Amino acid sequence: MQVGQPVGAFFNHPDFSGIAEMSEEEREALDAMFQRRVEADVRRGRWRGHFYQLTADLVMLEHRPDYAKAFYDTIPSLRNRLRETGEEESDAVELVAESLQHLPMYVLYGWETGIYNEFRHLHFRGLTKAQLMELVMFAQLQAGMRGLQLVYNSVSRLLVDLDDNPEPAPFPKGWAPDPDAFKAGLDLSTRELTSQDRERITSWYERTIGYVPDSVKFSITYHPEFYKWHRARWEIIFQKLPKQTAPYVMLRQQMLTGNRDALREAVLLGKAWGITREWTMHGLATSALYTGFEGLYNAHAAVNDIFESWGQG
């Protein structure tokens, strides 16, 4: 049996779902796939300083190679869709976008190995220390002080000597920093939420996503000072990363929480700031790898009407 032409390092291998009835030739092809994957994981582990992907992969490779093949064959679909629709040709851009979601998720999960891995990966791809810390601060809004402690445990020694990569990270077309886009115009000279603050917050939401979220209305009504200073934190996080990073990460965060209202807000904010439908769907699809496919029930309920009318005027 001829082994298929690989996509990347180890895709498009013969079907091994009937592993018990394999021919000798099929078993040899399976073994070749196993060896290629192990070698790739060893190289990555030596480069990044840990081998978690090797050990995790071995659970599939050694005990359910048929599932491992199906798992690896799923991954190219994310890049293929971007190419097929003319959205993006660069694998590097797609990998950076995925990892923008991964790092805050691992902070929220409390997975120190994953935090370290994404710091190393995103730094290699060109993110600066300042940009990495913007992702950490955005994650802190959900993960609290525990999240910051986990970041410290994971990468504090790495951060001391982390130099900026001379090659800047590649981002999707049209993504760019815009710190002012986050600002509603709060009066930070006083702690209270002034009537002018309320008007400006309302205007920002109505102008950006078309309505004021219930969470904002509730907080402004019953604890306005808390809302003001939560908003003040949110507004200053992103200085160097593209503004689109915020709603793109929010897609993952709200897919994980299953909060439909918050997911709708994330999609509308991203749409307002120039994230295309294809990149939005990419963010939802990659997130479904972590929520389970059933996470897309919430996506459908939250934003299918937006998707149906997207680009129709």
Is residue 79, in this structure, part of any structural domain at all? no
Is the pTM value of this prediction over 0.85?
yes
Are residues 207 and 189 part of one domain? yes
Radius of gyration of the chain (CA): 22
Cα separation, 201 vs 232, whole angstroms = 11
Is residue 12, in this structure, part of any structural domain at all? no
Write phi, then psi, for 192 (nearest 5 degrees). Answer: -70, 155
Q: How many CB atoms lie within 10 A of CB 127?
A: 26
Q: Which domain holds residue 302?
A: 243-313
Tens-of-pLDDT digits for all 313 residues of the chain? Answer: 333 333 333 334 444 444 556 677 767 777 777 778 778 777 776 666 666 777 788 888 888 888 888 898 999 999 999 999 999 999 999 999 999 999 999 999 999 999 999 999 999 999 999 999 999 999 999 999 999 999 999 999 989 888 988 899 999 999 999 999 999 999 999 999 999 999 999 999 999 999 999 999 999 999 999 999 999 999 999 999 999 999 999 999 999 999 999 999 999 999 999 999 999 999 999 999 999 999 999 999 999 999 999 975 4
**String of b and e for 261-284 (b: at least 16 CB within 10 Å)?**
ebbbbbbbbbbebbbbbbbbbbbb
User: Domain count of the chain?
Assistant: 4
Cα separation, 133 vs 137, whole angstroms = 6
Report whether 20 contacts 4 (CB < 8 A): no
Return the pLDDT at 274.
98
Q: Which H or E run contains 66?
A: helix 65-74
Are residues 194 and 249 part of one domain? no
Report whether 127 contacts 114 (CB < 8 A): no
Is residue 83, in this structure, part of any structural domain at all? no
Return the pLDDT at 16.
46
Is residue 27, in this structure, part of any structural domain at all? yes
Is residue 81, in this structure, part of any structural domain at all? no
**DSSP assignment string, 128-171:** -HHHHHHHHHHHHHHHHHHHHHHHHHHHHHHHHT-PPPSSPPP-
Nearest to 97 by CA among 129, 74, 121, 62: 121
Are residues 199 and 150 part of one domain? no
Return the pLDDT at 20.
52
Burial of 167 (0-12, 13-18, 19+ CB in 10 A): exposed
Is residue 105, in this structure, part of any structural domain at all? yes
Return the pLDDT at 69.
84
Give the residue from 74, 97, 121 where a domain finishes.
74
Strands (E), the chain: none
Is residue 166, in this structure, part of any structural domain at all? no
Give the residue from 27, 51, 74 where a domain finishes.
74
Is residue 8, in this structure, part of any structural domain at all? no
Q: Which H or E run contains 204?
A: helix 195-208
